[in-house]
């Protein structure tokens, strides 16, 4: 998957799987700003290394919900 496809797919897939496309999934006025901080940059990591990515932080409604 090329870099541009990854960039578009990641938030859209996440919000779509939760049926929250209207509230989340893209950076737009009026949408929630939940964030996930990962161990590596999904735009630059080799495809073979993607599955080794770990979640470092999850921020939900402005509060850190998970940290490692």
User: Residues 27-62: pLDDT tens digits?
Assistant: 677 777 778 889 998 888 898 998 999 999 988 877
Residue 16 has pLDDT above 80, yes or no: no
What is the reported pTM? 0.57
In terms of Cβ atoms closer than 10 Å to its own Cβ (0-12, 13-18, 19+), residue 44 is exposed
Higher-pLDDT residue of 31, 17: 31
pLDDT for 43 equals 83
Higher-pLDDT residue of 51, 17: 51
**Which whole-number Å values give the CA distances from 19 to 12, 22, 43, 49, 57, in the listed order?**
10, 8, 25, 28, 22
Residue 11 has pLDDT above 70, yes or no: no
């Amino acid at each position: 998957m090329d870099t541009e496809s990854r960039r578009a797919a990641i938030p859209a897939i996440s919000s779509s799987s939760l049926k929250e496309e209207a509230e989340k999934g893209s950076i737009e006025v009026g949408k929630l700003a939940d964030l996930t901080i990962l161990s590596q940059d999904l735009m630059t990591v080799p495809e073979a290394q993607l599955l080794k990515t770990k979640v470092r932080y999850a921020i939900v409604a402005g509060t850190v919900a998970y940290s490692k």
